[in-house]
């Protein structure tokens, strides 16, 4: 009798444990499903956006080769139309999108959900893509990586909004952070870079609170992008053989120059944007954008068309061809173009242009030292890391991104050294990243819009 009772109790307990385990499994799947769906959509959109962006840049080069005078009309027109699209349909789509994402993360509580809707939405996605494509087609010095981050965060946020009331509660904040990281991973094919970016730049939340969701989102978005594009590196595999330790003598000047230059560009952008606040009339902002476009066109026509676009072609040519040592004025063109384009008021990021500005500085300095093919490649990578570190104040993210997009882990210590010196000298100019300044402006603008 006692034996039969014990057996029955064991069976009942086992049944209850199995039920609890099944319930937990269901809850875990329900919690993970929105991240999976969002990441799939994010990866697909990122690939489509990348292809459209590449086509727009190819269109720019095609027109320049056949009728470069056209840009005296095309570039100002594109700058103005890109500004109009943002101003008319979604003012919070301007710029790179990262300040909007960090502001949305800060505001992601029930009290401010309406404000977050202005920063991350389907409308933002459409306007972001349209405005940035118009800008780059006209020769604007903008990138697609920052916009992809805001686009991806918007996708994750909107999927969270669509969950029915009976669905297990999922943190909107964690969804936005994961979306941003997945966007960067899909844009550059750099999963570790996406994760480090989320930890270093986007949130102060302890990693353990959202690590599973973050890893899942980054992996699925990255795999989706790989499915469409196949295995690839954003830049490629630059030769880096036969480098000796004395190269440090050349790396340190590159790090110092990019540190000062990156912070200088960031401060210039912030200064001009602050001055632009005094322009009360839309006509004045349109005139500013048109003049900016005209200046870009003139620089391309009279000096060098290296001023155009995100600058990926500059990086690829410098790393993989014999045209490694650029003219001294190319970095100045890249930085001037970056400041003019970013302050025009349209959509467009600074990651790509910053990497190309740093690459051009590395190539110029390598020419001063008459370095070999592989040594020049290393200085170019260090320049990319240094400039991005300085303007974003994110040395770990910058290092990981450059390492992943070029598979150059054998020179990791040199690249870390460049990030270190760039960060030190960049902080001497400004301790705050451009995103810190723009996030404050974004929060101020959204409060103004609510008033």
Domains of the chain: total: 2
Same domain, 189 and 118: yes
Q: What is the pLDDT of residue 276?
A: 87
Same domain, 254 and 358: yes
Same domain, 56 and 180: yes
Same domain, 182 and 298: no
Same domain, 179 and 272: no
Q: What is the pLDDT of residue 226?
A: 67
Same domain, 256 and 223: no
Same domain, 419 and 355: yes
CATH, residue 348: 1.10.3080.10
8 A C-beta contact, residue 47 and residue 221? no
19 within a domain of the structure (yes/no): no
314 within a domain of the structure (yes/no): yes
Q: What is the pLDDT of residue 196?
A: 79
8 A C-beta contact, residue 325 and residue 367? yes
Residue environment code for 56-83, b if the CB has 16+ CB neighbours within 10 A, otherwise e = bbeebeebbeeeeeebeebbbbbbbbbb
Q: Which of 374, 386, 390 is nearest to 431 (CA)?
A: 390
8 A C-beta contact, residue 426 and residue 260? yes
Residues 353-408: tens digit of each pLDDT: 999 999 999 999 999 988 989 999 999 999 999 999 999 998 888 999 999 888 88
Q: What is the pLDDT of residue 253?
A: 96
Q: Which of 320, 145, 360 is nearest to 237 (CA)?
A: 320
6 within a domain of the structure (yes/no): no
Same domain, 213 and 140: yes
Same domain, 204 and 105: yes
The token duo for 305 is: 């068309």
The token duo for 112 is: 């401010």
What is the rounded end-to-end Cα distance, in angstroms, of the chain? 76
Same domain, 249 and 193: no
237 within a domain of the structure (yes/no): no
Domain containing 85: what range? 34-229
Same domain, 203 and 249: no
Q: What is the pLDDT of residue 206?
A: 47
Last residue within a domain, chosen from 203, 229, 255: 229
Ordered mean pLDDT values, 10 residues apiece, the chain (451 residues): 59 56 68 86 92 94 93 96 94 91 86 85 95 96 92 94 86 88 85 77 57 65 67 77 88 96 94 86 90 96 93 91 88 96 92 94 93 93 96 90 87 92 92 86 78 59
Residue environment code for 95-125, b if the CB has 16+ CB neighbours within 10 A, otherwise e = bbbbbbbbbbbbbbeeebeebbbbbbbeebb
Beta-carbon count within 10 A of 441 CB = 16
Interatomic CA distance for residues 300 and 310, integer angstroms:
14
CA quadruple 328, 329, 334, 340: dihedral sign: positive
235 within a domain of the structure (yes/no): no
DSSP string, 397-442: HHHHHHHHHHT-GGGHHHHHHHHHHHHHHHHHH-SS-HHHHHHHHH
């Amino acid at each position: 009798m006692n034996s039969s009772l014990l057996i029955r109790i064991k069976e009942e307990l086992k049944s209850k444990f199995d039920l609890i385990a099944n319930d937990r499994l269901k809850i875990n799947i329900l919690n993970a499903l929105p991240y999976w769906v969002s990441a799939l959509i994010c990866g697909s959109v990122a690939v489509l956006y990348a292809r459209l962006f590449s086509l727009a840049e190819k269109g720019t080069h095609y027109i320049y080769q056949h009728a470069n005078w056209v840009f005296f009309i095309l570039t100002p027109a594109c700058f103005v139309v890109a500004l109009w699209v943002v101003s008319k349909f979604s003012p919070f789509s301007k710029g790179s999108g990262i300040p909007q994402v960090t502001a949305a993360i800060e505001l992601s509580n029930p009290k401010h959900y309406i404000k977050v809707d202005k920063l991350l939405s389907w409308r933002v996605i459409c306007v972001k893509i349209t405005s940035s494509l118009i800008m780059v087609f006209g020769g604007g010095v903008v990138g697609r990586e920052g916009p992809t981050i805001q686009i991806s965060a918007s996708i994750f946020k909107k999927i969270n909004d669509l969950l029915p009331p009976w669905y297990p509660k999922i943190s909107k904040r964690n969804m936005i952070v994961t979306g941003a990281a997945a966007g960067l991973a899909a844009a550059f094919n750099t999963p570790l870079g996406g994760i480090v970016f989320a930890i270093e730049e986007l949130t102060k939340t302890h990693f353990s609170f959202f690590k599973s969701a973050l890893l899942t989102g980054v992996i699925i978005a990255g795999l989706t992008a790989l499915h469409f594009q196949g295995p690839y590196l954003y830049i490629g595999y630059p030769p880096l053989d036969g480098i000796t330790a004395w190269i440090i003598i050349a790396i340190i000047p590159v790090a110092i120059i990019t540190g000062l230059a990156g912070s200088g560009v960031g401060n210039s952008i912030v200064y001009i944007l602050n001055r632009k606040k005094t322009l009360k009339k839309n006509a004045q902002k349109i005139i500013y954008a048109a003049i900016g476009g005209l200046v870009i066109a003139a620089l391309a026509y009279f000096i060098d068309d290296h001023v155009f676009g995100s600058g990926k072609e500059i990086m690829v040519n410098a790393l993989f061809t014999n045209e490694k040592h650029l003219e001294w004025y190319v970095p100045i063109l890249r930085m001037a173009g970056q400041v003019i384009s970013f302050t025009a008021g349209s959509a467009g990021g600074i990651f790509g242009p910053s990497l190309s500005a740093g690459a051009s500085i590395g190539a110029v300095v390598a020419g001063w030292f008459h370095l070999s093919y592989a040594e020049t490649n290393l200085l170019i990578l260090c320049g990319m890391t240094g400039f991005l570190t300085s303007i974003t104040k994110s040395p770990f993210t910058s290092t990981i991104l450059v390492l992943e997009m070029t598979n150059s882990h054998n020179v990791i210590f040199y690249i870390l050294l460049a990030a270190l010196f760039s960060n030190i000298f960049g902080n001497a100019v400004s301790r705050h990243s451009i995103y810190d300044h723009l996030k404050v402006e974004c929060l101020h603008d959204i409060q103004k819009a609510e008033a």
